[in-house]
Amino acid sequence: MTVINGRTKVHGIIGNPVGHSLSPAMHNAAFDALAMNRVYVAFAVSDLAAAIAGIRGLGLAGLSVTIPHKQEIIPFLDQVEPVATAIGAVNTVVVDDERLVGHNTDWVGANTALATVMELKGRRVVILGAGGAARAVGFGLKEAGAEVVIVNRGRDRGLALARELDADFVPLTGVDMVSGDGLVNATSVGMEPDSDRIPLPGEMLAKFAVVMDIVYAPVETRLLREAVAAGCRVVNGLEMLLFQGAAQFELWTGEAAPLEAMRGVLTGRFAGGGGVK
């Protein structure tokens, strides 16, 4: 384990709440695996302006950003990379010679996770949801050359995202008419403690070769269980978390992320059951 001293570089995650976050365990495992004198901690932040001033004053080395600050942080940054600007959200801050530069690695995480089981270019992928996660996933898929369909309960919000992505929109009431090569649940449906819920009828899942759920608590959601039963290949939410975290690590350090060390600590947190340990 890293011995913290006067030369230790400090990273962290800001959000509210953050007590449940798996990012500290994942990133500290990565730092330890490469014997880096760095540490990663969680900061529960309600006053974002004060937090950013503190980050600058204390000289933190890099940040992860989570709910509810992914959009709110943008005006406080010195620069936002074009991809993050297009998505309209920042989940990673790199400190570059005292300048705070915003990035988004959520789309990288989603694309990389899906690409382990399917080709993305030219494939038709249905995204459930129209919130921030759906935006990042949809942007990444479009960048990879996939055809995207947005399915959402709220028509106005779903249509707005579909127009931004140059994608098709189908209201949730018409989801039985939708099919594709892949399906991504970008909603919180099925997350603990409501893990018995499923975002669409299980009998529809056979229409998709691949099903991915961004929910990772539990790791095996009802959606994924029923997808396996329907003969689909599945991707759980830990994979997206892993790959977006690996992209963050590489932005901060310039080194290749130790994926197996990071994956090991994540899966270890769920060993013996579906919930976080």
Burial of 272 (0-12, 13-18, 19+ CB in 10 A): exposed
Say how far apart CA 149 and CA 170 lie, in whole Å: 7
Residues 57-83: what's their mean pLDDT? 96
What pLDDT sits at residue 2?
Answer: 63
* 70 classed as catalytic: yes
Residues 158-184: what's their mean pLDDT? 96
Residue 270, pLDDT > 90, answer no
Residues of the chain with CATH 3.40.50.10860: 9-104+239-268
| CATH number, domain 9-104+239-268 | 3.40.50.10860
**C-alpha distance from residue 15 to each of 46, 68, 77, 97, 104 (Å):** 8, 6, 16, 24, 15
Supply the mean pLDDT for the chain: 94
Residues 30-34: what's their mean pLDDT? 97
What percent of the residues of the chain are helix, what percent strand, and what percent coil, each to the nearest 5?
Answer: 40, 20, 40
Which two structure tokens, joined as six digits, stand for 72? 């709110």
Residues of the chain with CATH 3.40.50.720: 108-235
Q: Which of 70, 142, 207, 277 is catalytic?
A: 70
| CATH number, domain 108-235 | 3.40.50.720
Residues 169-197: what's their mean pLDDT? 95
What pLDDT sits at residue 277?
Answer: 41
| Cross-strand pairs, 12 | 41, 63
Please report the sign of the dihedral spanned by the C-alpha atoms of residue 249, residue 253, residue 258, residue 261. Answer: negative
Residue 269, pLDDT > 70, answer yes
Say how far apart CA 84 and CA 116 lie, in whole Å: 23
pTM value?
A: 0.92
Beta strands in 84-205 (DSSP E): 92-96, 99-103, 124-128, 147-152, 168-171, 182-185
* Tens digit of each residue's pLDDT (9 = 90 or more) over 185-218: 999 999 999 999 999 999 999 999 999 999 998 9
Say how far apart CA 208 and CA 126 lie, in whole Å: 9
Residue 90, pLDDT > 70, answer yes
